[in-house]
A and B are shown apart, each in its own frame.
Chain A
């Protein structure tokens, strides 16, 4: 993670100084983008998440406590924005079908890959985000809990529910390896 910025820079940011905010943007934008990509797994949507997250950060700057980690605060905002994007994607039928911008599937046969993506996209956004971070990215539960601002027990429970729902959905699609 990026080194934490100095207190003076953060104070100027909280006061609304746009130059200070640009310095923070330059320092953190790659980290924010990579985190967004891990969740939404779509190049264009991750860029939308990045812009929206920094806009929300500036709008909510008065709530930022300069004694806390700016990186962790940005990660939490980015997670919330990404979750909103997952909700929006889910309401679009094209996303539940198959998305064009998604990275090319790895070694799976096309039909199987399509079924897995379909099953995954049928999960609720809350389960999708936990499934992505816990199952695919294999991040520690504590790290996911911090990003989602939820107790670790809730993350464990959602991870379990996601696995159960995926198994059920894949079984309905005839996949039971």
Chain B
């Protein structure tokens, strides 16, 4: 099989399309991705888990915290 024949086979099986642009305006999707709130990081999760465990293990610490408010 020559390279040219191989190229012809590929082009026939996977022909190019004539679309010049997307089917709809995708700018709103780009903006919503940009403005999306960042997901919780591992650090956020570990701090939340640590705080919960601390409160469960030392419940009286809550009184100490409340005293300062």
Contacts and interface: CB of A to CB of B under 8 A. Distances in A.
A38 to B, nearest CB: 7
B10 A29 contact: no
Contacts of B21: 29-30, 33-34
A10 interface: no
Interface stretch (A41-49, A65-73, A139-147): A41-49
Q: Which of under 10, 10 to 19, 20 to 34, or 35 or more describes the interface residues of B?
A: 20 to 34
Nearest to B4: A135
B23 interface: yes
A166 interface: yes
A170 B21 CA distance: 33
A95 interface: no
Nearest to B29: A51
A136 B10 contact: yes
Secondary structure class of chain A's binding surface, majority of residues: helix
A7 interface: no
Interface in B31-61: 31, 33-34
Interface in A59-98: 59
B14 A51 contact: no
B7 interface: yes
Contacts of A113: 12-13
Contact of A120 (B14, B15, B26, B34): B14
A37 interface: yes
21 contacts: A29-B21, A29-B22, A30-B21, A33-B19, A38-B16, A41-B16, A55-B30, A103-B14, A106-B13, A106-B15, A107-B12, A112-B9, A112-B13, A114-B13, A116-B14, A135-B6, A166-B6, A170-B1, A170-B6, A175-B9, A177-B5
Interface of B: 1, 3, 5-7, 9-17, 19-23, 26-27, 29-31, 33-34
Given A30-B20, A120-B13, A136-B11, 6 more contacts: A29-B21, A33-B19, A37-B19, A103-B15, A135-B3, A136-B14
